[in-house]
Amino acid sequence: GGSAMAAVRDVEIDPEGTFKYILVRLQRPGGEEQRDIVRGTKAAEFHNHIFEKVNPEMEKLGYECKCLGGGKIDHNSKDKKIRVFGLSTGYGKADHSVTVEILKKVYTDYEITWSDDKK
């Protein structure tokens, strides 16, 4: 049912700093139900490190994962600002505008912007 998918958080990112992120699409095998989630952390040296952590977690819940691309997030919790930019060499550039919409669901009182800048 929808409950398991609802249990998956839209966003899991570090509370502060600049780090890599990926946009991941979850889908039930053979099902129509799908949604996109954002995952990012400073602990990941490469974008695929994030995917390698998310994928098994989601498979346990019965989802197929597809990485839609990546980039970087600059999270300034003091000023309540998030900037989405850059790209992933391995996965290509995520649609940052989609990422921003997902982030806005969680960080409702933040100023959230994106660009195709590399830095």
**44-79 pLDDT, tens per residue?**
999 999 999 999 999 999 999 999 999 999 999 999
pLDDT of residue 2: 54
In 3D space, the residue among 55, 43, 47, 57 whose CA is nearest the CA of residue 14 turns out to be 43
90, pLDDT greater than 70: yes
As a whole number, mean pLDDT of residues 91-107 equals 98
As a whole number, mean pLDDT of residues 81-109 equals 97
pTM (global) more than 0.85? yes
**For the chain, what percent of residues have pLDDT higher than 90?**
83
Identify whether 47 is a catalytic site residue. Answer: yes
Tokens representing residue 63 in the block? 């989802």
- Residues 6 or more apart from 84 whose CB is under 8 A from it? 21, 71, 72, 73, 74, 96, 99, 100, 103, 112, 113, 114, 115
105 labeled binding residue: no
- Residues 6 or more apart from 101 whose CB is under 8 A from it? none
1, pLDDT greater than 50: no
Looking at 47, 49, 75, 96, which residue is catalytic?
Answer: 47
Structural domains in the chain? Answer: 11-115 (3.50.20.20)
